[in-house]
Chains A and B, each alone.
Chain A
Amino acid sequence: MNVEARPNLSKVQEARVGIADCDVHPNPTSLEDEVFPFLEQKWRDHIETYGMPQRIGFAGGTQYPKGQPRASRRDSYPPEGGPPASSLSFFREQHLDPHHVDLAVMIPLRIGQALQNMDLAVALCAAINEWQQEFWTRKEPRIKGSIVMAYENASDCVAQIEKHAHKDDFVQISMLSRTPDPLGHRKYWPIYEAAAANGLPVGVHAFGYGGNPPTGGGYPSYYIEDMMAHAQSCQSLIVSMVYEGVFDRIPDMKLIIVEGGIAWLPSLAWRLDKIWEKNRMELSHVKRPPSEIIREHVWLTSQPIEEPDKRQQLVETIDWIGWENVLYASDYPHWDFDDPKRALPVQLTQEQRDGFFRNNAFKAYGLS
């Protein structure tokens, strides 16, 4: 392990042992060319005729257009054309090789996990799982996939998990944070049970269309408010899962929160403990202090990492979260990408650095 917390290009280039990047977003060149071949003809016809309505009032597109085209770094378009991160060779050249990434966990987005037409969502997710293997994980062993599922339909999710969980191609189950109901809801439990039974964590990535406004106070005016609201949704889903008793009932459940930031977790855990102690009547099914449950079951990926003016304050914050619970993520090729050489520009011990950039991830995904 030789990752420099302070930028020092010459040393980073000498690194022998690579890092784990827990959030990257390869894209198909086009859905039609790469993903639709895995769909039955009836669904292709269906999409052509009716489209893919999301659980929002806007047809197509995102609720809040992003700050950069395709929410991507402007330098991430492959030279041979196509959208960012659609070319394996450029993905290697721009990200995997120079950053010494040994493990890159791909999380497909914008694929309609929660489409209004549930059968279409099921079919599309199944196709995306085939696409991940065919176009990425079988061609590049450093890349591992996430089993995506139409999570409003738990029985089909369980079928997808049973189908793919044993393969080397996949290291986690993938859900999104903005769901129609809080993630502790019992309708989602069969997914968690199947994930735990197969030894895989559930990675919940920020975004999704649940049909609810992104903030508790309604629809904000600006994209940047939508983005800030991810930390709120992630906090809500942790509260829901802890207080609804998910982790008490499913002791092997592992939850990885992706792209919601990290620094809010300590204060959330403190508040959860305080309220739990005072509301035993309502919460007697929660057997341990929430902070203890969170330390044992919840990991956070780092990006987009908070950047306090005094960077060393991040070290203190991660002390409170627990050094074993934070995983490095770049979010390549998106515009809020964190460069591994610069994501944590603070003095760290070797153990902290190794855990953050590699070992914690291998442990969370059950890899050696």
Chain B
Amino acid sequence: MAEKHVVAKVADFADTDRKLVEVKGRPIVIFKLGEEWFGMLNRCPHQGGSLCAGHLISQVDSDRPGDYRLSRRGEILRCPWHGWEFDIRTGEACARPGKFRARPVGVSVLSADDTETVGDLELYDVSTEADLVVVEL
């Protein structure tokens, strides 16, 4: 059963779109894209590169040489080592979907009032931190 873990404050993301946290001893990278939240095990399935240092790029599609169409800006995570690309929503590798996959984890935001049931809240001062980022693992 996945448990919920409070890992950060929403305010931590004021100046950044990502943060590396540890849950159950595992490194997890959290991304904030606009108002959406994504989480990924911080280990590339290829050789283990730290996905936290990757670039968020667009999906590129092409039907013939010279034809490049960009879509889904910022939703493709490119590994900082050898450049494998992963769909941030599913973890699927863009070059060989179905064969390789980064491991996504659920991320959500709770307001402090709703977090009574979450285990490790003592790390945060709930009365002053309104919104908290929660990972399910």
Write the residues of chain A forming the contact surface with B, with a CB cutoff of 8 angstroms: 7, 67-68, 73-75, 335-339, 341-343
The answer to whether B55 has its CB under 8 Å from any CB of chain A is: yes
Is there contact, CB below 8 Å, between B80 and A75?
yes
Known contacts A74-B53, A74-B54, A75-B53, A67 near B47 by CB under 8 Å: no
**Chain A residues closer than 8 Å to B46, beta-carbon distance:** 342
**Closest Cβ–Cβ distance, residue A66 to chain B (whole Å):** 10
Given contacts A73-B49, A73-B80, A341-B48, 8 further A-B contacts (CB under 8 A): A68-B80, A74-B53, A74-B55, A74-B80, A75-B53, A335-B83, A336-B82, A342-B46
Write the residues of chain B forming the contact surface with A, with a CB cutoff of 8 angstroms: 46-50, 53-55, 80-83
Is there contact, CB below 8 Å, between B48 and A73?
no
Is there contact, CB below 8 Å, between B81 and A73?
yes
Is there contact, CB below 8 Å, between B83 and A67?
yes
**Chain B residues closer than 8 Å to A341, beta-carbon distance:** 48
Is there contact, CB below 8 Å, between B47 and A335?
no
> Closest B-chain residue to A304, C-beta based?
B82
Q: Roughly how many angstroms separate A4 CA and B83 CA in the complex, as a whole number?
A: 25
15 sampled A-B residue pairs with Cβ under 8 A: A7-B48, A67-B83, A73-B53, A73-B81, A74-B80, A74-B81, A75-B49, A75-B50, A75-B53, A75-B80, A335-B82, A337-B82, A338-B47, A339-B47, A343-B47
**Chain B residues closer than 8 Å to A73, beta-carbon distance:** 49, 53, 80-81
**Closest Cβ–Cβ distance, residue B44 to chain A (whole Å):** 10
> Closest A-chain residue to B51, C-beta based?
A75
> Closest A-chain residue to B80, C-beta based?
A74
> Closest B-chain residue to A341, C-beta based?
B48
Known contacts A74-B53, A74-B55, A75-B53, A339 near B83 by CB under 8 Å: no
**Closest Cβ–Cβ distance, residue A145 to chain B (whole Å):** 26
Is there contact, CB below 8 Å, between A68 and B48?
no
**Which of B48, B55, B81 has the most chain A CB atoms closer than 10 A to its own CB?**
B81
Q: Roughly how many angstroms separate A337 CA and B53 CA in the complex, as a whole number?
A: 15
> Closest B-chain residue to A339, C-beta based?
B47
Known contacts A74-B53, A74-B55, A75-B53, A342 near B82 by CB under 8 Å: no
Q: Roughly how many angstroms separate A67 CA and B84 CA in the complex, as a whole number?
A: 11
**Closest Cβ–Cβ distance, residue B34 to chain A (whole Å):** 23
Is there contact, CB below 8 Å, between B53 and A68?
no
**Chain B residues closer than 8 Å to A337, beta-carbon distance:** 81-82
Is there contact, CB below 8 Å, between A335 and B48?
no
Is there contact, CB below 8 Å, between A68 and B47?
no
**Which of A74, A338, A339 has the most chain B CB atoms closer than 10 A to its own CB?**
A74
> Closest B-chain residue to A343, C-beta based?
B47
Q: Roughly how many angstroms separate A7 CA and B54 CA in the complex, as a whole number?
A: 22
Is there contact, CB below 8 Å, between B54 and A342?
no
**Chain B residues closer than 8 Å to A339, beta-carbon distance:** 47-48
**Closest Cβ–Cβ distance, residue B41 to chain A (whole Å):** 14
**Chain B residues closer than 8 Å to A74, beta-carbon distance:** 53-55, 80-81
**Chain A residues closer than 8 Å to B49, beta-carbon distance:** 73, 75
**Chain A residues closer than 8 Å to B80, beta-carbon distance:** 68, 73-75
> Closest B-chain residue to A7, C-beta based?
B48
**Closest Cβ–Cβ distance, residue A160 to chain B (whole Å):** 34
